[in-house]
Amino acid sequence: MFNMNNIRKTLYRRGTAFLLTLALLAGSFSPAFAANETIYDTDAVRLNRMGLFLGTGNGFDLEGTINRLQGAALFIRLMGEEPEALSEKNAHPFRDVPEGWASPYVGQMFDQGYSLGISENTYGTGGMTADQFAAYILRALGYEESRGDFVWSQSLRTLQSLGIITQEDYSRISRGTFTRDYAARLASAALDAALKNQDKTLYEKLLDQGAITAYSRMMPEPVESGTPVSSYDDMTRIFQRMRGNLQYSATLSTQGVSLGEIKEWLDSIVKTSAADVWGWNLVSTYVEDRNYPLKVSVRWLYSDGYEVSHAILYPESSPELSPRNKEIRKIAEDFLQEYIREGMTDQEKIKAVHDYLVRTIRYDSDLPINLSPQSDNVSDSYMVYGALVNRVAVCDGYAKAFNMFMDILAIPSDRIVGLSLQNNNTVNHAWNRVYLDGDWKYLDVTWNDPVPDRGNSVQYDYYLVSEEKMEQDHSWEEDQFRVRYF
């Protein structure tokens, strides 16, 4: 039987490329690497879902450098000491650390003797090197310089020699500027590494301590009434915070901004998010306040699945579900109880979802076959609601429903929107890929469902096939898989 507590130790084994997260305030190898190339998006996503990597005002800012204050915060989280740091707020002597978010972390570093700064009254707030940050990682895993476990100036090489990072990682990270992208990789790799002289991983230690949980993550601060907006960048940051909280509306201070500009910004964000790997509909509205041009209210609407996945994974912070999402959630929970058992492999879970969708959904042959999955349509057959509640859907409904279940089960998955070749005609289509055993495998749930419907008959012609196989009659743009940080 399905039990969320029974899968907590496997919930975040891999980075999850499928999720559009909104990180907000608070052998041999000889490749040629692009300078400051962003590589480790999925590691950042994984850390964010555990509340370990919250980003900056510019999203994850993976191309940017990581400074010593940010490094201290991430280190304290990896030590499982964030609750203690935030509650006790230990004093420290460092005059260059401003009062605010960083001070409790630096106080904890000082109190526990993790860092005594660079002088009596100076902590040092500049950028970190790869070896400095790698030393933090080794300490979090229980290795000690005083016992000769490592030399801090060779810390990155030590991580590689211990097998915590690959030679490829080492070659890339040791070159050039140490970025937040590289910091995310080292921290994520540390979670999967065993603690010194133990079988337990750092991830399991943090779970046991309650420092991270399977169902909650640190949420960004909600957008307060009167938050100023004067540019598109302001609006995207506001959108990030609202979506990170599933906050549906906010009243903004908009003095000097025209309604036309506001509508343009909102439309642009919706368009940017339209290919979002979650695959849920996103629309925006705005209401002119009676005090306009001083105020305007904005509202974001998420439909068909986002609420459901969020409510199952993070019930403590979930909003009241809409009536339609309550219906979806009931079906999702019934499926999990009946078909998902403790100890199932990811491949077994994928097959259970795939077969369930094929057996319970009938393809909606009455809708136009070439309507774009990203077009502005309103038919339930394009939605999770149509697939799970009405049990009638087209390709996009199948793909969205599959992706929703993969999210709930913490199996990396993407909904793919592209073109397919049917009867020598190129048509718009949607399908999925999943990350399994270290590689992406592709599946087309729609094409595995016979038409006309044959009840329990399930086909596997397009089930966990290679990219080369899928490319024979499917085509797509790879850039749709890049997480968008706006």
Contact 249, 266 (CB under 8 A): no
Burial-class residue 290 by CB neighbours within 10 Å (0-12, 13-18, 19+): exposed
Residues 426 and 410: their CA atoms lie apart, in Å, by: 33
For position 306, what pLDDT does the model report? 62
Residues 166 and 189: their CA atoms lie apart, in Å, by: 10
For position 422, what pLDDT does the model report? 79
Query: pLDDT tens digits, residue range 198-245?
Result: 999 998 888 888 777 543 344 456 788 888 888 887 887 787 777 666
Query: pLDDT tens digits, residue range 2-31?
Result: 443 333 223 322 222 222 221 211 222 233
The two structure tokens encoding residue 106: 């630096």
For position 59, what pLDDT does the model report? 63
Which long-range contacts link 158-167 to residues 24+ away (Cβ below 8 Å)?
158/134, 159/134, 159/186, 159/189, 162/193, 164/137, 164/189, 164/190, 164/193, 165/189, 166/29, 167/27, 167/28, 167/29
Residues 36 and 183: their CA atoms lie apart, in Å, by: 12
Give bridge partners of residue 179 from the DSSP assignment. Answer: 65
Strands 295-302 and 249-253: antiparallel
Reading phi first (left if > 0) and then psi (alpha if -120 to 50, else beta), residue 142 is in left
Q: How many CB atoms lie within 10 A of CB 467?
A: 12
**Which of 68, 119, 113, 126 shows the shortest CA–CA distance to 93?**
119
Lowest-pLDDT choice from 32-46, 99-113, 333-347, 385-399: 32-46
Residue 416 has pLDDT above 50, yes or no: yes
- pLDDT grade, residue 274 (50/70/90)? very low
Measured at the CA of 98, the angle between CA 93 and CA 102, to 5 degrees, comes to: 90
Lowest-pLDDT choice from 170-179, 315-324, 378-387: 315-324
Cα-based distances in Å from 396 to 194, 361, 408: 41, 12, 18
Place of tokens 């907590």: 8
Contact 35, 92 (CB under 8 A): no
Residues 397 and 405: their CA atoms lie apart, in Å, by: 12
Domain limits, CATH 3.10.620, in the chain: 321-481
Q: Strand, coil or helix: what is 164?
A: coil
Strands 392-393 and 413-422: unpaired
Which long-range contacts link 227-232 to residues 24+ away (Cβ below 8 Å)?
227/252, 227/253, 228/252, 228/253, 228/254, 228/255, 229/253, 229/254, 229/257, 229/262, 230/254, 230/256, 230/257, 232/265, 232/268
| Residues whose CB is less than 8 angstroms from the CB of residue 87 and which lie 6 or more positions away in sequence, other chains included | none
**Which of 448, 357, 446, 460 shows the shortest CA–CA distance to 406?**
357
Strands 425-436 and 474-475: unpaired
Does domain 321-481 fall under CATH 3.30.70? My reply is no
Q: Strand, coil or helix: what is 452?
A: coil
- pLDDT grade, residue 297 (50/70/90)? confident
Residues 230 and 240: their CA atoms lie apart, in Å, by: 16
Strands 392-393 and 362-363: parallel
Strands 425-436 and 439-443: antiparallel
Q: Alpha carbon 180 to chain centroid distance?
A: 16
Cis bond before residue 450 (omega within 30° of 0): no
Residues 468 and 303: their CA atoms lie apart, in Å, by: 33
Note if the pTM is more than 0.85: no
Does domain 227-302 fall under CATH 1.10.3470? My reply is no
Name the phi and psi angles at 186, rounded to 5: -65, -40
- The 3-class SS string of 383-448 reads CHHHHHHHCEECHHHHHHHHHHHHHHCCCCEEEEEEEEEECCEEEEEEEEEEEECCEEEEECCCCC
Place of tokens 């040791």: 174
Give exposure, 386-419, as e/b (b: 16+ Cβ within 10 Å). Answer: bbbbbebbbbbbbbbbbbbbbbbbbbbbbbbbee
Domain limits, CATH 3.30.110, in the chain: 227-302
The two structure tokens encoding residue 458: 């399930």
Contact 307, 322 (CB under 8 A): yes
Lowest-pLDDT choice from 8-22, 41-55, 61-75: 8-22
Residue 421 has pLDDT above 70, yes or no: yes
Query: pLDDT tens digits, residue range 361-415?
Result: 999 988 765 454 444 445 788 888 899 999 999 998 999 899 889 888 878 788 8
